[in-house]
């Protein structure tokens, strides 16, 4: 941001910043720094943690915050909120999210036509441009291409021997290194709790009640729910995707996502007899990535899989 050296050029000065507490704890720190640096207003939407069930009060609390942010956004934009456009954006968001879920579900096929490393790159539109019609078109085209690969028996890994689940954020700055390491041994990463988190809430999106459904949806991301929910999600994905092993990335820059991973790893190994590795690193800070140590642990894990 400071250097201007990005794939899309220099980032513009924001007129308004908005963040939520339902995500990695570092995000709120980043946005506070950005607000201070740019002198821009910052809205923080507080989402109460969901341990088991969501109360009506929690939904109303988040909805009220969203409603109170609208006049601030209108002032920054210099125009009033168009409710019909809001409904259309919500409709497009729901459709794009449903298509993204279908894309990931194709990973159930053998060989998997798309890997988790592909998903980490292809998720950009669902994160940044969810309400746009071209995002819907993009995922519809992607789904068609994936179905062609399935019909032709083309796999993301040329010689798929074992299938692995990835938990938590990716190690963004070492994606190619990790993808090559697994592919060379015939290990396909076919499912991820992280990419799934951007899709699993599609049923909660309601274009006829956009603000209320937004409040409900943003209360329920994986990071904002109890550790038992994530364990159940991993157990379901292990069955659905015929998973042979799991890697739980213990991410120092995303503590909410990493809570409970030691117990989750032990439960997967004990209850499902699935080899599981707890891999310590960081999704944003390369100083926390010790390549030799990571390589040794991953090779040992692959040996556990019987490859």
In order of their start, the domains of the chain are 1-80 (no CATH), 82-305 (3.40.50.11900)
Q: What per-residue confidence (pLDDT) applies to 2?
A: 79
Q: How is residue 70 written in tokens?
A: 């609208």
- Reduced to 3 states (helix: H, G, I; strand: E, B; else coil), residue 155 is coil
Q: Say if CB 281 and CB 294 are below 8 A apart.
A: yes
Per-residue confidence band for 211, with pLDDT thresholds at 50, 70 and 90: very high
Q: What per-residue confidence (pLDDT) applies to 56?
A: 95
**Rounded to an integer, what distance in angstroms lies between the CA atom of residue 181 and that of residue 298?**
9
pLDDT digits (tens, 9 = 90+) for 256-297: 999 999 999 999 999 999 999 999 999 999 999 999 999 999
pLDDT digits (tens, 9 = 90+) for 193-203: 999 999 999 99
pLDDT digits (tens, 9 = 90+) for 20-31: 999 999 999 999
Q: What per-residue confidence (pLDDT) applies to 191?
A: 98
| Average confidence (pLDDT) over 137-155 | 98
**Rounded to an integer, what distance in angstroms lies between the CA atom of residue 220 and that of residue 240?**
22
Q: Cβ of 263: how many Cβ atoms within 10 Å?
A: 12
Q: Say if CB 167 and CB 247 are below 8 A apart.
A: yes
**Sequence-ordered strand ranges (E) for the chain:** 17-20, 42-45, 162-167, 187-192, 245-251, 276-281
Q: What per-residue confidence (pLDDT) applies to 239?
A: 98
Q: Which of 139, 140, 141, 112 is nearest to 127 (CA)?
A: 139
Q: For 55, what's the count of Cα atoms within 13 Å in the CB-facing half-sphere?
A: 7
Q: Say if CB 246 and CB 164 are below 8 A apart.
A: yes
Q: How is residue 156 written in tokens?
A: 């993301």
| Average confidence (pLDDT) over 206-210 | 97
**Rounded to an integer, what distance in angstroms lies between the CA atom of residue 178 and that of residue 173?**
10
Per-residue confidence band for 8, with pLDDT thresholds at 50, 70 and 90: confident
| Average confidence (pLDDT) over 74-94 | 97
Q: Cβ of 136: how many Cβ atoms within 10 Å?
A: 22
How is residue 16 annotated by DSSP? -
Mean pLDDT (the chain) is 96
Q: What per-residue confidence (pLDDT) applies to 6?
A: 81
**Rounded to an integer, what distance in angstroms lies between the CA atom of residue 211 and that of residue 59?**
10
Q: Which of 24, 288, 282 is nearest to 170 (CA)?
A: 282
The model's pTM: 0.94
Q: Say if CB 257 and CB 170 are below 8 A apart.
A: no
């Amino acid at each position: 941001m400071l250097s201007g050296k990005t794939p899309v050029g220099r980032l513009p000065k924001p007129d308004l910043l908005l963040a939520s507490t339902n995500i990695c704890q570092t995000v709120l720190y980043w946005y506070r720094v950005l607000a201070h640096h740019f002198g821009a207003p910052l809205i923080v939407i507080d989402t109460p943690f969901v341990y088991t069930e969501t109360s009506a009060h929690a939904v109303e609390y988040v909805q009220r915050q969203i409603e109170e942010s609208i006049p601030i956004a209108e002032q920054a934009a210099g125009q009033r909120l168009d409710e019909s456009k809001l409904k259309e954006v919500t409709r497009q968001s729901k459709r794009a999210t449903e298509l993204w879920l279908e894309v990931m579900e194709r990973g159930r096929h053998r060989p998997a036509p798309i890997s988790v490393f592909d998903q980490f790159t292809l998720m950009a539109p669902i994160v940044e441009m969810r309400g746009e019609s071209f995002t819907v078109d993009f995922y519809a085209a992607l789904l068609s291409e994936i179905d062609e690969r399935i019909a032709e028996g083309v796999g993301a890994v040329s010689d798929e021997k074992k299938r692995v689940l990835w938990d938590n954020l990716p190690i963004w700055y070492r994606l190619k290194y990790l993808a090559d390491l697994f592919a060379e041994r015939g290990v396909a990463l076919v499912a991820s709790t992280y990419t799934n988190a951007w899709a699993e809430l599609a049923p909660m999106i309601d274009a006829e009640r956009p603000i209320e459904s937004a409040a409900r949806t943003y209360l329920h991301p994986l990071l904002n729910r109890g550790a038992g929910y994530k364990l159940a999600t991993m157990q379901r994905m292990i069955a659905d995707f015929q998973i042979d092993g799991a890697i739980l990335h213990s991410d120092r820059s995303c503590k909410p996502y990493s809570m409970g991973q030691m117990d989750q790893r032990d439960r997967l190994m004990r209850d499902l007899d699935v080899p599981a590795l707890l891999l310590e690193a960081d999704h944003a800070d390369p100083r926390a990535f010790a390549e030799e140590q990571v390589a040794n642990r991953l090779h040992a894990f692959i040996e556990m899989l019987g490859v």
